[in-house]
Chain A
């Protein structure tokens, strides 16, 4: 997932930072976290749909990445590895949640966390909530695949590496997920035309 890190023009590559962390550099891991935290937050928030849960999952994930540096395999991109840890932390939580009732959506905290403070407060706000809500209707595996591919813009190959499943499985999960979301999000279709809304983050882009 070499292009996934996006626009880093800075000198030290992720792998080098991770190596420095393994050698005891106390700042290297913090730098790595800072570099990728927004992206990881977005993944966790979308996967879990609840900011408190997402925050806890993300903290768990970063801590376990911190400790598991020795298990990082050099052939993978660091972001692939980080995504995998974050998503697994989220899926673990979802599995535990499945034996409890889901957290109801629509409270202010969720709205605030999901929606941007700037531009187009009404439309984006609603869309964000609708999308989050709709995603929660999907089985976790479909949700994770769609978040990586459609939402974050990663290639199917990259998503397959993150999720450690074959490419065809990712495609199939994405297709099933879209099929399920289509009727749920249909009402957003026409209203969105001509609003000129852009993606909040450009970097997810093409792989």
Chain B
């Protein structure tokens, strides 16, 4: 062949019909007599094939649920103009009710952790606390009821939700499979919160949000499990006698909760 070989750009443009007629004609003429350039042209077609065949993984379930929660939190934001007033009132009533249910569990147990209590007075009169604090804090409790994610999402908007947040412990406990229920109880009932209060990194916030699935955690303890670093996340159980306990690894994040163990314990 006399003409110079065609480069990838020219061949790609030719395939896409982007070359002016005269150049396209000469390129075609060259191709017909040049195996090397035909080969290169096939490589370009192969790119399209490879891209088309590359697997498209479905959205991971953890991410789907994280997004659902984020949207639910968005919907729960007061003043959101998309939600009609009427449906918002209905929602709020429901949220206050479920906030009450969650708070009774926490207050009744005498525990000092959990969203519902972090920005209220840490009152110890648990006998009377059952209904009254709910009334006092219905606004902020409702705002937070949509899950730990709500706190983050609402931060930038200020308001009651920004004051809240997880109480996260670093109790130093080495949780073990055999003593898990007992150890969780100890942390939950420890009146004076002996462990240092830990900040929530974004990763941990996302992790807890993914695991909690909209529930308010009773306890988040960045500690150990069977001698290894692990975070224990305790959620309200299926009924008032049970606790839903998740143990996750340090890598726990929104897209992968890195669950080490998931179990129920007696409260």
Name A residues whose Cβ lies closer than 8 Å to a Cβ of B.
Answer: 21-24, 26, 29-30, 33-34, 37-42, 45, 51-52, 55-56, 58-59, 62-63, 66-67, 69, 109, 112-116, 124, 127-128, 131-132, 146-147, 150-153, 168, 171-172, 174-176, 178-183, 185-186, 188-189, 192, 197-201, 204
Collect the chain A residues with CB atoms within 8 Å of residue B66's CB. Answer: 55, 59
Q: Are A51 and B54 in contact (CB under 8 A)?
A: no
B242 to chain A, nearest CB (A): 29
**Residue B29 is within 8 A (CB to CB) of chain A in the complex:** no
In the complex, the chain A residue whose C-beta lies closest to that of B88 is: A24
The answer, among A21, A168, A179, for a CB contact under 8 Å with B12, is A179
In the complex, the chain B residue whose C-beta lies closest to that of A132 is: B54
**Residue B70 is within 8 A (CB to CB) of chain A in the complex:** yes
Collect the chain B residues with CB atoms within 8 Å of residue A24's CB. Answer: 82-84, 86-87
Which of B53, B83, B153 counts the most chain A CB atoms within 10 A? B53
Q: Mark B44-77, 1 if CB is under 8 A from A, else 0.
A: 1011101111111111100110111011001100
**Residue B182 is within 8 A (CB to CB) of chain A in the complex:** no
The answer, among B43, B48, B64, for a CB contact under 8 Å with A189, is B43
The prevalent SS among residues of A at the interface is: helix
Name B residues whose Cβ lies closer than 8 Å to a Cβ of A.
Answer: 7-9, 11-13, 15-18, 40, 43-44, 46-48, 50-60, 63-64, 66-68, 70-71, 74-75, 82-84, 86-87, 91, 153, 253-256
Q: Are B68 and A30 in contact (CB under 8 A)?
A: yes
Q: 20 new A-B pairs (CB below 8 Å) besides A69-B82, A128-B54, A175-B9?
A: A26-B83, A30-B68, A33-B67, A38-B56, A39-B56, A40-B59, A42-B56, A51-B255, A52-B253, A66-B82, A114-B55, A115-B55, A116-B57, A127-B54, A132-B54, A152-B56, A182-B12, A182-B47, A183-B43, A200-B57
Collect the chain A residues with CB atoms within 8 Å of residue B44's CB. Answer: 178-179, 182
24 A-B residue pairs with CB within 8 Å: A24-B82, A26-B75, A26-B87, A40-B59, A42-B57, A52-B253, A52-B255, A58-B63, A59-B66, A62-B71, A63-B74, A113-B60, A127-B54, A151-B54, A153-B52, A178-B12, A179-B7, A179-B9, A179-B13, A182-B43, A198-B53, A199-B55, A199-B56, A204-B52
In the complex, the chain A residue whose C-beta lies closest to that of B62 is: A55
Knowing A150-B48, A182-B46, say if A175 contacts B16 (CB, 8 Å). yes
Q: How far is the CA of A37 from the CA of B71 in the complex (A)?
A: 13
B34 to chain A, nearest CB (A): 16
Q: Are B74 and A175 in contact (CB under 8 A)?
A: no
A36 to chain B, nearest CB (A): 10
Collect the chain A residues with CB atoms within 8 Å of residue B43's CB. Answer: 182-183, 185-186, 189
Knowing A55-B254, A150-B47, say if A41 contacts B59 (CB, 8 Å). yes
Q: Are A182 and B40 in contact (CB under 8 A)?
A: yes
Q: How far is the CA of A114 from the CA of B55 in the complex (A)?
A: 8
Q: Are A45 and B87 in contact (CB under 8 A)?
A: no
Q: How far is the CA of A174 from the CA of B16 in the complex (A)?
A: 8
B204 to chain A, nearest CB (A): 14
Q: How far is the CA of A29 from the CA of B67 in the complex (A)?
A: 12
In the complex, the chain B residue whose C-beta lies closest to that of A41 is: B59
Knowing A176-B12, A189-B43, A192-B50, say if A45 contacts B57 (CB, 8 Å). yes
Q: How far is the CA of A175 from the CA of B55 in the complex (A)?
A: 22
In the complex, the chain B residue whose C-beta lies closest to that of A112 is: B256
Top 4 nearest A-B pairs (CB, nearest first) are A24-B84, A179-B8, A41-B59, A200-B55
In the complex, the chain A residue whose C-beta lies closest to that of B57 is: A116
Collect the chain B residues with CB atoms within 8 Å of residue A52's CB. Answer: 253-255
Q: How far is the CA of A180 from the CA of B82 in the complex (A)?
A: 45
Collect the chain A residues with CB atoms within 8 Å of residue B75's CB. Answer: 26
Which of B8, B12, B18, B253 counts the most chain A CB atoms within 10 A? B12
